[in-house]
Amino acid sequence: MNPAERVRLGRTKVEVTRLGLGLGPLGGLYAPVGEEQARATVTQAWRLGIRFFDVAPFYGHGLAERRAGPVLAGLPRDEITVSTKVGRLVRPGGGDVDGAWAEAGGETSVFDFSGAGVLTSYRESLDRLGLDRADILHVHDPDEHWEQASGEALPTLAGLRAGGRIGAVSAGMNQAAMLADFVRTGLVDCVLLAGRFTLLDRSGADELLPLCAERGVPVIAAGVFNSGLLADPRPGAPYDYQPATAAQLARALAVREVCERHGVPLRAAAIQFPLTHPAVASVLVGARSPEEVADAVRMARVPIPATLWTDLEEST
């Protein structure tokens, strides 16, 4: 895998690198990051050839956008692809009700998939980022809001695309079934699937990925470590944002054993596995330090024999 290879997203003019940087950790996910380290992380990604950066208002309740913005705004705009998300507005009060953001202040995120809410969210994201546009906008986690997300948010994004204010319409979720429903509307150019096409959870391949391949809707794969278990399988490691069960840990260790027999680091297999499906265009990896970015790029470049995928299919 060449992490710096650029590919076009379906019928759009938007291009992404095979490896993209997920900026969620820079919002202080579970542990503080700090301003200097956050900016150094984005800078390192640029230096190593990553040109695709994904963020959201929800990440640190605006903090990730504010931290990444000054670096992204200083890069050649036509050489980078920036995606952010709509469906949550950052508002005062409540603090970190989710318990995920270690550096959250007096702001919280509230759901709003209305047309007006989408336009407000986009405007406020651009203000935090210091940019005049995003290339991709994802409808973010509309699990309990399908009617408003499909009936108001999605058409509003299509209007932004028609007006040249964004390059691609997408939806980003931790589930595959509703993403398939979004694809069937014919309004999305791509989708972001988190945690559902990984070495431990291949449920995205049941319906969504074949549908996307059939309709020419590229998939951006995220959550490839399933929150951390596939990066470092150990007791207490997170799996989908909860401590892994004994059974989940045992599966991850079994996958690591197969990888080690082939001389391949588990992290390398986790990053590269989604690209074994033709519908997947890019893989997003979150990082909270320049060292983690460098490691992700190294893992993306590790040669992987086809027999590893076959052996994993047979043994896990």
Choose, from 85, 96, 239, 240, the residue flagged as catalytic.
85
Task: Report the b/e string of 59-71 with b at 16+ CB within 10 A.
Answer: bbbbbbbbbbbeb
Residues sharing a CB contact under 8 Å with residue 298, sequence separation 6 or more, in sequence order:
none
What is the distance in angstroms between the CA of the first residue and the CA of the last residue of the chain?
Answer: 23
Among 54, 112, 189, 201, the one annotated catalytic: 54
Is 54 a catalytic site residue? Answer: yes
Residue 85 appears among annotated catalytic residues: yes
DSSP string across the chain: --TT-EEE-TTSS-EEESEEEE-GGGGTBSS---HHHHHHHHHHHHHTT--EEE--TTTTTTHHHHHHHHHHHTS-GGG-EEEEEESEEEEESS--TTS-BTT--SEEEEE--SHHHHHHHHHHHHHHHT-S--SEEEEE--TT-HHHIIIIIHHHHHHHHHTTS-SEEEEEES-SHHHHHHHHHT--SEEEEESSSSSS--GGGTTHHHHHHHHT--EEEE-TTGGGTTTS--TT-EETTEEPPHHHHHHHHHHHHHHHHTT--HHHHHHHGGGGSTTEEEEEEE-SSHHHHHHHHHHHHS---HHHHHHHHHH-
Q: Clarify whether 59 is annotated catalytic.
A: yes
Which residues are catalytically annotated? 54, 59, 85
